[in-house]
Amino acid sequence: MRTVPGIVLAVLAVTVTACSGGNRTADTSSATAAPPNSTTAATTSAQPDCTAGFLAQYTTRQKLAQLLTVGVNGLADAESLVRSEQIGGIFLGSWTDQSLLADKQIDRVKAAARTPLMVTIDEEGGRVSRLSNLIGAAPSARVSAQTVSAEDYYRESVARGRAMKDLGITVDFAPDVDVSSQPDDSVIGDRSYSDDPEVVTRYGDAYIRAMHDAGLGAVMKHFPGHGSGSGDSHTGAVRTPPLDQLQQVDLVPYRALIGSGAGVMVGHLDVPGLTDPGVPASISPQVMSLLRQGSGYGAAPFDGPIFTDDLSGMAAITSRMGIADAVAAALEAGVDNALWINSDAVTQVLDRLEQEVREGRLPLKQVDDSVLRMARYKGIPMHC
């Protein structure tokens, strides 16, 4: 697995309760991508396991809150939500007041968090861009792949990544590594680098390297592949080609990039030969198992963070269930971080998740493993 700099979330200290040495802050020298199965590695005298101490600082509700990323409107709701529920991340969408970034209000939100906060956005360039008026416009993925070399694209993306970091962003939900020949203006379309898996892999790799070198987290999407889907998951259910066909095309970039240190976002996709009827990939245990084990599509095991696509604004999921049911189903399936785009239901969701833990449907060990994956992805050290 390639090691990459952790997401530096300085200023905010993390108390590691059961470890000696007191409070420590994240730093790039010690925060690297975790090796597979590191959460269950045996304790040795040379490398004592501090994960138990790290987890001991949280109540069950606080652990569950670390597994949520929630869309916010601006300073008031972001600061209130982080302070009251200590969620793990916020999402900045097209509706978010940009003074949160432009006027450095985001620093107040980060200061309300006991654990370093993820500040996320989906800045792809082209028509999926939230920051063009703050950091300038960028071409779509498809145009970039057609007009500049992968290394030139890397250099351009590093500059944009640094500009995003300067604004206070820590994670970009990009690159889109869907393999697609759809028309430019379709749901994936020009968000895809190419209909050639090798081209998608090369440019996706360049973008991931750029974000890491700029100090941001990257997230590949939409696993296991939206590029040949039957429609738009914003408006309804989407059926992909069968799994055996995805193996030859859509899953190729993931197979190559799974050790890059990027997270993975799972789409709301019905996949014949993989998902059960009526259960989209984002809440499917079979999909999480495929991704974690890797052997089902010829890849290495993945022990990084798995994110959902938006659970509250896309009909492929909302036509089937409400937000509390969707978040519970996603975490129970094996997702590490549930994403949705409004802040209204956070308390309701956390109440529901606590109930799922109490009743044994969401094992606390599974919650702990996800908390640790998210902490490592953020670059939080767990030194004794």
The label of the residue with tokens 């993306």 reads 157
Q: How far is CA 63 from CA 35, 192, 224, 354, in A?
A: 22, 35, 28, 10
**Mean pLDDT, the chain, as a whole number?**
88
What average pLDDT does this structure show over 261-289?
Answer: 96
Residues with Cβ < 8 Å from 294, sequence gap 6 or more? 258, 300, 301, 302
Predicted confidence (pLDDT) per residue in 356-381, tens digit? 999 999 999 999 999 999 999 999 98
Residues with Cβ < 8 Å from 5, sequence gap 6 or more? 28, 31, 32, 212, 213, 215, 379
Evaluate if residue 31 carries a pLDDT over 80. no
16-20, 166-170, 285-289, 317-321 — which is least confidently predicted?
Answer: 16-20
**Structure confidence at residue 47 as a pLDDT band (50, 70, 90):** low
Q: How many other C-beta atoms can be found within 10 angstroms of the C-beta atom of residue 294? A: 19
H or E segment at 286?
helix 285-293
- CATH fit for domain 50-378, picks 3.40.50.1820, 3.40.50.300, 3.30.70.2970, 3.20.20.300: 3.20.20.300
Residues known to be catalytic: 234, 309
Name the nearest CA neighbour of 169 among 90, 286, 74: 90
What average pLDDT does this structure show over 66-88?
Answer: 97
What average pLDDT does this structure show over 81-94?
Answer: 97
**Structure confidence at residue 292 as a pLDDT band (50, 70, 90):** very high
Q: What percent of the chain has pLDDT over 90?
A: 80
Evaluate if residue 314 carries a pLDDT over 90. no
Q: Is 62 exposed, middle or buried (0-12, 13-18, 19+ CB in 10 A)?
A: middle
What phi, psi does 110 have (nearest 5°)? -60, -35
Q: Evaluate if pTM is beyond 0.85.
A: yes
Q: What percent of the chain has pLDDT over 70?
A: 87
Q: How far is CA 225 from CA 144, 248, 259, 317, in A?
A: 20, 11, 18, 17
In eight-state DSSP terms, residue 46 is: S
Name the nearest CA neighbour of 308 among 259, 181, 84, 291: 291
Tokens of 289: 């198992």
Evaluate if residue 30 carries a pLDDT over 50. no
